[in-house]
């Protein structure tokens, strides 16, 4: 069994790294588990524990979904949270110009469902998770920082590859291994 997900790796440029560092520094009074920039990705579909026997089936669905897809650009903009202002859980960077991303993610999810993989209860929401909130020491100051970064511009990024990845969890955080890579043309 492998803990798998299908994702697009995001390689941050200097502007995004600077903004991310500034956000982290502004929120250092809170207990937040930050995603390391070398692990930035947009999850298209989380598969969870998957037997080795069906990995080839997953790869076939990925290939069938992306074989005729062209690369496209997105823009990473805005900062937001999942959860509520009173009980925030996740800090994310948003994605603009994402209809192509939403369309291919939904096609992938439907193709996986048709191949026997369970659909999620929630719709695909394009985002890049940058922090997982453990404890907020002062909600007012936390929300003020999020508001300050709300309309930030991070970078333009070309989507030209989709990855099947394994996540290995440990006390030090997750380790990601690429199982297969699928290029868009």
Active site residues: 41, 127
User: 23 by DSSP, 3-state: which?
Assistant: helix
Distance separating alpha carbons of residues 129 and 79, to the nearest angstrom: 10
List, in sequence order, the alpha helices (H) in 120-171. 139-149
Angle 52-119-73 from CA coordinates, rounded to 5°: 90
Structure tokens, 25: 């520094």
| 8 Å CB contact between 61 and 162 | no
Distance separating alpha carbons of residues 20 and 177, to the nearest angstrom: 24
Structure tokens, 65: 């979904």
Structure tokens, 159: 């989507």
Distance separating alpha carbons of residues 95 and 104, to the nearest angstrom: 14
Q: Other CB atoms closer than 10 Å to residue 171's CB: what's the count?
A: 4
Structure tokens, 112: 């996986």
């Amino acid at each position: 069994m492998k803990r798998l997900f299908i994702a697009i790796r995001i390689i941050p440029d200097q502007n995004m790294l600077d903004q991310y560092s500034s956000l982290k520094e502004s929120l250092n009074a809170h207990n937040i588990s930050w995603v390391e920039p070398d692990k930035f990705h947009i999850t298209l579909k989380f598969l969870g524990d998957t037997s080795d026997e069906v990995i080839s089936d997953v790869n076939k669905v990925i290939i069938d979904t992306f074989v005729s897809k062209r690369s496209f650009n997105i823009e990473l903009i805005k900062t937001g949270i999942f959860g509520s202002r009173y009980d925030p859980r996740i800090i994310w960077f948003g994605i603009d110009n994402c209809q192509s991303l939403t369309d291919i993610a939904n096609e992938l999810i439907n193709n996986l469902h048709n191949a026997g993989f369970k659909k999620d209860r929630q719709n695909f929401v394009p985002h890049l998770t940058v922090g997982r909130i453990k404890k907020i020491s002062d909600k007012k100051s936390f929300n003020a920082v999020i508001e300050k970064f709300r309309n930030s511009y991070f970078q333009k990024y070309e989507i030209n590859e989709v990855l099947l990845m394994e996540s290995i969890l440990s006390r030090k955080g997750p380790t990601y291994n690429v199982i297969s890579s699928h290029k868009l043309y």
